[in-house]
Each structure stands twice: as structure tokens, then as C-alpha cells.
Structure 1
Amino acid sequence: MTAHQDAPLRIHPVATKDDLREFVELAYRLNRGDPAWVPPLKSEVYALLTPGKNPWFDHGTAQLFLARRGTRTVGRISAHIDRLALEQPAEQGMGPGTGNWGLLEAEEEETAQALLAAAENWLREQGMTRALGPLSISIWDEPGLLVEGFETPPTIMLGHNSPLYAPWIEAAGYGQAKDLFNYVVDIADGFPPIVNRIVAAGEKNARIRIRRVDKSRFEDEARLIMTILNDAWSDNWGFVPLTDGEIAHVGKKLKTLVFEDLIRVAELDGEPVAFMIVLPNINELLIDMHGSLLPFHWAKLLWWLRKPKSRRLRVPLMGVVKKLQHSRMASTLAFMMIEYIRRDGVTKYRAKQGDIGWVLEDNQGMRAVADAIEAKVNRIYRLYDKPLG
């Protein structure tokens, strides 16, 4: 047994720049031996956690915690409250009294249990009656704990964690709140005949127009897509509306990964009513960069972004306005956007597979679309909750 293992465990709030650095660095140390873990760029992690850089803090507050034995950092967790989430209906997953935790990393179970307790105590002090997690930090970032699909690296904007964490969290009294599915589908040879027939029928409908986004009007296009998103997802479990500041932030963050032929907007009678965003999988590059663009990784990244080739593409977001949901038209628009982007993804980006997700376990519409194109679940993320008595 090493000296630090004999030392008592201490949990304390992150209060200094050195504390924050240890909070960020710990994930890289603990996950270094996992070949499926993709190290995020450290600059992105610091931006996520920094008020003034992340507009989530305009309506949210967070406290970070470190666990130490002696001088060694052995764990971390965040506790946070989103005031917009508190305003949502309780039956949609958030609502009054619901606080969150996330960004959990721990060397062993005792540390994980102590960190969860610290996060829960902080939430209680803020008047919360329920803990829901993990969220990193917003529902729009990386929600859920990976519970199935540890064998392969995740695609862009999906998380990865140790398989040990689920039993540790459950031992702390947490139960399943909701599962989020990620699907994978082979796209090189096209989709089943039924999908092709739906697309062909849609192409004969003069009311429908499927267009690429116009990157020269990027801010307007981003605002349009996020407006559709806020409407399309407003009744979804866990929904929290994106603010104007967050929409601008997301647009700026993703602009370098936006390629016009991978994002479609569907118009019906001239009105934008649906969208689909597909991103090349930059994780194929990041996995070997160790979280830094220095000394020469920046050049590799710029070259890749110039004309990316991506074995797998990911659909992080798509939506149809609420008034069309559960209609045949909604399915037609979805299949047309998927097929048009598939064609460009294969011919221009050499993609072989597509990821779709995450998809709520009870989102029957999206699950039916995934089944129709013969997509299979390859990763499951779980959100846990617990009453704070």
C-alpha cells in the first residue's frame, strides 16, 4: 500500500487556479490507460467550467469539488443548479427542486461515495430536494453515464467513462431516471428499399424543399436551426431551452466543424420546419492529441478541417417542429434529410458509418426512424436520480 492510500480522504471545494488545474488534469491521468477514452482539448474543458466563457453560467451556478489523500488528488465532482431547468415541468424530468452533479472521476469507490455525498450536501444547502446526474454541465453538453458500449471510442460530443462508476453510483442510492441510446448504422451501401421509396415520393412533392445550409449566412442559419430545435424538443424529457447567448456560443464553437453538405434544412410551403446536423468525427484525430494542440497537433487539425475524411459521421441533433410531429410528413422529411446527407457523407467524406444520438429510450418516433434504416444501439448512457431527504 502506498503512502497516499494510508492518508485520510478529504473533500474540499475548488477555490484556486491550482485547484481548477488539478480538477481538469485528473481526468487525463485516470483515463490514460483506457484505449477507448478520447482526451478532450483542455482549452475546451476550461471554457466549459469558466463563467464568462460558458453562457450556461448566466442562468446556472456550480461548485466543483476535489478529493485528496495527502497531497494526491484522487477524485473530483461538480454540483450545479440550472435556474432554467427549475422552471420546467417536473414531469419532463427537471423542474422545481432538481439539482445536478457531473464530471465524476474517482480512483476507488470510497472516494466516489464521498464526492457524491459532498455534491448532495451542497445541493441540499441550495434548497434542492432531488439530485439528477451526471450532466457535464448542461443537458446539452454530455448527459448521462456510459453503461453499455465501452469497447470502442465515442464519436464527437459523446462521453466515455470507467465501467466501475455505475455500480458505485447505484450503491450510493441512485436509480435509473432515463436511458439515452446512441445508434450506429452502415451507410456505404444505402438504406432499405422502403426508405428509398419514401424519399422518392417526397421528391415528387412540390411543397417540400430540402436545402443545404448557407455558411456565408452562418449566424442567421444557426439561429434558425436553434429556433426549430427549441420548438421541436420543448416537450422532451429533460428539455431546457437554449438562450440566445448559448445559441451564439454553440454556433461559434461548432463553426469550424460545419460543412454545408452535412447540414440540411427542410422547408414545407416555404417555411423552415425541420433540420438535421451531421458532424465529421473529429475524435478520430483527438484520440492521439492528449488534450493539447501543442507542439504540432494544431497543424494536423487545421489540415484535417480543410477537407476532413471521417470514417464515421455523427448526427447530434435533428428535429421537426411540434405541429408536424407524429405525422407522415415528419417521417418523410427525416428520411429525405438522412438520405441526402448520407450520399454526400459517403462520396465527399469517405464515411462508412453514421452515429445517431443520443435518443431518449421512450422517443418512439426517432427509434422508429432508426429501426427503418436498420441502425443498432451501440452505446447506452444513463441518467440517475435520488431524492435528497
Structure 2
Amino acid sequence: MPLLEVQTARQQQQFCDLPHRLHRHAPAYIGPLDNEVDAVFDPAKNQLFAAGGVAQRWLLTTAQGEVSGRIAAFVNPLTSTATDASLPTGGVGFFECIDDQAAANQLFDVANQWLQARGMLAVDGPINFGDRDRFWGVLIDGFDHEPNYGMFWHPAYYQALFENYGFQLYFKQYTCHRPVHLPLHPSFHQKLASFEADGHYRFAYARKAEPEKMAQDFHHVYNLAWGRHAGVKPMTLEQARHLVQQMKPVLDERLLAFAYHNDQPVAFFLSLPELNQIFKHIGHRLNLLGKLRFVWQRWRYMKRTDKKLLGIIYGVIPDYQGKGVDQALLTWEQKRFIEAGYQNIEMNWIGDFNPRMLVTTRSIGAKTIKTHATYRKLFVDRPFERYPIIR
């Protein structure tokens, strides 16, 4: 089958259209927004290009010219040697394909050859040319559940296409769910009561009217809690300000809560209304009409009392870990979730390399309902190692 490099505007649109054409009849399918996929490959919008990153996309077509597959390959200079300096690793992502191993092999071959020509000794996929919070992993379980915003829905045969080609499991990604009203363990309430009785601690949610304070508090906790983890780069204050600005149109301020000790932020828990529950009524093109539809659909959704929220990230700075601050903060937040009309919460994926976080989710009664997988394939003869466990 002919392979084409994505170069023209028409080919870019064909790249975006393919998953919607392949999966539109699947009941659980909700696709990504075209503009967000395009932004990944736009040097004006993706700062990895300025940092020395490179990316390429391909379309696979039939003899009649119909698109039957797509793939992207990229080298992220900030993470290519993050876990092993002796094994520079590129990425493939945005893979979509008909149920045909030979077609998939063509896509994998062209992407991997492109990466090897740029000095890569391994490839991870499917991943994003950017952060892990979106477009990461292939769905391998939970096909009857709708994807959360930023995550792909895939048909079951994709797993076999990757594994038959020789990709090996690098790590699993678990999406966990719990009803908001599900009671927390009494010990959580005891922690909250203890902290509230201590005059040095307080809990509060963010205020849209104070974006600078929101950015500074988030920046402080995030860098101390997450900035030293492999594959996670520290955030600048300017990036935090930009993040707050991006979130403002969709942020329910009751879903970003902070714990303070002597007015110093020591923990946060960030959630958002689950945006795919809005976007599924809009379509995948956020043009002017799409934006108008979004405003209307968001207004309707926020009036509902059966909303779903997506837990994005929580963090506790090291000096306060193990003290129960996170348990107290979650207990404090539960009441606000209920008052705001949220019935269900799903948490942004947690890797199997993070057992402490998985224990935390189990402690609040959350259960895994979706599993994605990130694979790795070596181009050199050496023992395969899975992603290192966070200790």
C-alpha cells in the first residue's frame, strides 16, 4: 500500500479524520479535537521543536487512494535518554489502522526506520510528542467505557497489531473510577478533623478571581512533589500562569483545592469537569461553530446534577508526605464535589510503575475500569527492561 508523508493541508485533515471514520460506529468512541492534534505537530505551538525535537507523520493509503492507516514518529530531546543514557529512545504515536497486520507493519517499519536514521536505539509507543497527560498509550481493556478527555479510544485488535510486530509491554496505565458519594474510610475523616483542629492548617479551593495566586501555589507544590520524577520536567512560573489561563474557560474552581500550613501551600488536588462529556455533543472540529456549541453545551452540562469529573493530578510536597494531608484534603473536597453536582470521578491514568499511587486509589475505593499500555521495542540486542518502579 502506498505511504505518504503528511505535508499538505489536505493530508493533515485526512490524518485527523481517520479515527473518526474508522471508529464512529463504536458506542464508546469519542475522538480528539483536530486542533489539538494539529498543535502537536505545529512548531509555532509545540515548544519541543525549538528545543531540537523532530517529528514526521505518514498516511497509508489503498490502491484506490483511501486512507487506511496513519502514524507519527518523533524524537523528544528532553526525554529520549531520561531513563537510560545508553539507550536513546524515540517515540511513535497517533497510530490508527484497519485490522490488517501487514498494513500496521508498513506503518511501524517506516516510523522505526526514520527513528533509527536519527540515532535512536529503541522506540516507545504509542506516546505523545509532548507531555504524558494526553495521547498516551493504546487501550487494551475497558472498550465499553468512553475515553476521558486527552485519551484515545482504540478497538481491541490494536493490541495484537503492536505485539505481533514485536513491541513489548513497557508499562500499563490504569484509569480508576469511584462514585463521588461512596463513603471514605473513617480514618480519612479523623485526619481532616485533626488538621482542622490544628490552627496551622487550612483547606481552600482556588479562586478564578486570583489567577496569580493560583499559578504560584500550583507551581510551588508541583515542582516539589513531581519535578524530580523521571520523565517529568519542572514547571516554570510562566508555564504555570499559562496553564491557569488555559484552564480558565473549563475550570470549576471548586475542583482545584489546596492544603496550607501556615499559609504555605503544601498539597493540591486538581480535577476538571470531564470535557469529553461535552465534546461528544460538538464533534471534532473546534471552529467558530464548534466554539459556540461548546459554550452552549458546557452551560447545559454544568447545570446537571449527575456530572462526571476527571481527577488530573494531586501532589504533596515531600516534607508533608505520610502525614495524611492528602487524605484530609480529599475528604474536604468530597463535600464540595457533592454540592457541585458531581456523581462520578475518574482519575487520570496511573502507571503500574507507581505502586504508592495505586495503593492510594484503592484506599478510597476506586476500581480500575480502563487499561492502556505503553510498549517499547529495542533496535539493538540487549536485555529488555520494563519502566523502573517509583520508590
Fold shared per TM-score above 0.5: yes
CA displacement at 1:101 relative to structure 2: 0.8
CA displacement at 1:243 relative to structure 2: 5.8
Matches of 2:18 and 2:361, distance apart in 1: 37
CA displacement at 1:362 relative to structure 2: 3.2
Aligned to 1:265: 258
1:101 is paired with a residue of what secondary structure?
A: strand
Point out the structure with the larger helix share: 1
Q: Is the 8 A contact 1:133 1:144 kept in 2?
A: yes
CA displacement at 1:285 relative to structure 2: 2.0
Indicate the larger mover: 102-111 or 225-234.
225-234
Indicate the larger mover: 120-129 or 365-374.
365-374
CA displacement at 1:227 relative to structure 2: 4.4
Matches of 1:370 and 1:49, distance apart in 2: 34
Aligned to 1:351: 342
CA displacement at 1:65 relative to structure 2: 1.1
- For 1:381, the aligned partner's letter is H
Aligned to 2:215: 222
Give the percent of matched residue pairs that are identical in Structure 1 and Structure 2.
23
Q: Is the 8 A contact 2:214 2:244 kept in 1?
A: no
**2:281 equivalent among 265, 280, 288:** 288
Q: Is the 8 A contact 1:85 1:95 kept in 2?
A: no
**1:72 equivalent among 44, 66, 74:** 66
Pair 1:83-2:77 in alignment: yes
Aligned to 2:365: 374
Alignment map for 1:124-135 (pairs within 5 Å): 124-135=116-127
Q: Is the 8 A contact 1:199 1:335 kept in 2?
A: yes
Matches of 2:370 and 2:174, distance apart in 1: 6
**1:322 equivalent among 289, 304, 318:** 318
Aligned to 1:123: 115
CA displacement at 1:124 relative to structure 2: 0.6
**Please, what TM-score do these two structures have when normalized by structure 2?**
0.88
- For 1:254, the aligned partner's letter is M
Indicate the larger mover: 288-297 or 73-82.
288-297
Matches of 2:203 and 2:28, distance apart in 1: 36
Alignment map for 1:168-183 (pairs within 5 Å): 168-183=161-176
Gap change, CA 1:158 and 1:207, over 3 Å in 2: farther
Aligned to 1:383: 374
1:22 is paired with a residue of what secondary structure?
A: helix
Gap change, CA 1:95 and 1:313, over 3 Å in 2: farther
Indicate the larger mover: 363-372 or 19-28.
363-372
Q: Is the 8 A contact 2:204 2:257 kept in 1?
A: yes
Unaligned runs of 5+ residues in structure 2 are 381-391
- For 2:165, the aligned partner's letter is A
Aligned to 2:38: 46
Pair 1:303-2:296 in alignment: yes
1:123 is paired with a residue of what secondary structure?
A: helix
Gap change, CA 1:324 and 1:356, over 3 Å in 2: same
Alignment map for 1:14-33 (pairs within 5 Å): 14-33=6-25
Unaligned runs of 5+ residues in structure 1 are 1-8
CA displacement at 1:304 relative to structure 2: 4.2
Matches of 2:377 and 2:290, distance apart in 1: 42
CA displacement at 1:297 relative to structure 2: 5.1
1:72-98, Cα deviation, whole Å (9 max, x unpaired): 1111111011111135242xxx88501
Aligned to 1:251: 244
Matches of 2:5 and 2:213, distance apart in 1: 41
- For 2:360, the aligned partner's letter is V
Aligned to 1:164: 157
1:133-155, Cα deviation, whole Å (9 max, x unpaired): 11123223222111111111022
Gap change, CA 1:344 and 1:304, over 3 Å in 2: farther
Gap change, CA 1:56 and 1:210, over 3 Å in 2: farther
Matches of 2:296 and 2:86, distance apart in 1: 45
- For 1:257, the aligned partner's letter is V
**1:233 equivalent among 217, 226, 230:** 226
Matches of 1:239 and 1:181, distance apart in 2: 18
Q: Is the 8 A contact 1:264 1:341 kept in 2?
A: yes
CA displacement at 1:102 relative to structure 2: 0.4
1:58 is paired with a residue of what secondary structure?
A: coil
Task: Let me know the Cα RMSD of the aligned residues.
Answer: 2.3
Q: Is the 8 A contact 1:109 1:168 kept in 2?
A: yes
1:222 is paired with a residue of what secondary structure?
A: helix
Aligned to 1:210: 203
- For 1:311, the aligned partner's letter is K
Gap change, CA 1:114 and 1:230, over 3 Å in 2: farther
Q: Is the 8 A contact 2:74 2:115 kept in 1?
A: yes
**Please, what TM-score do these two structures have when normalized by structure 1?**
0.88
- For 2:316, the aligned partner's letter is V
1:352 is paired with a residue of what secondary structure?
A: strand
Q: Is the 8 A contact 1:263 1:278 kept in 2?
A: yes
Q: Is the 8 A contact 1:55 1:245 kept in 2?
A: no
Aligned to 1:5: none
Gap change, CA 1:241 and 1:37, over 3 Å in 2: farther
Q: Is the 8 A contact 1:181 1:361 kept in 2?
A: yes
Q: Is the 8 A contact 2:91 2:126 kept in 1?
A: yes
Matches of 1:135 and 1:288, distance apart in 2: 27
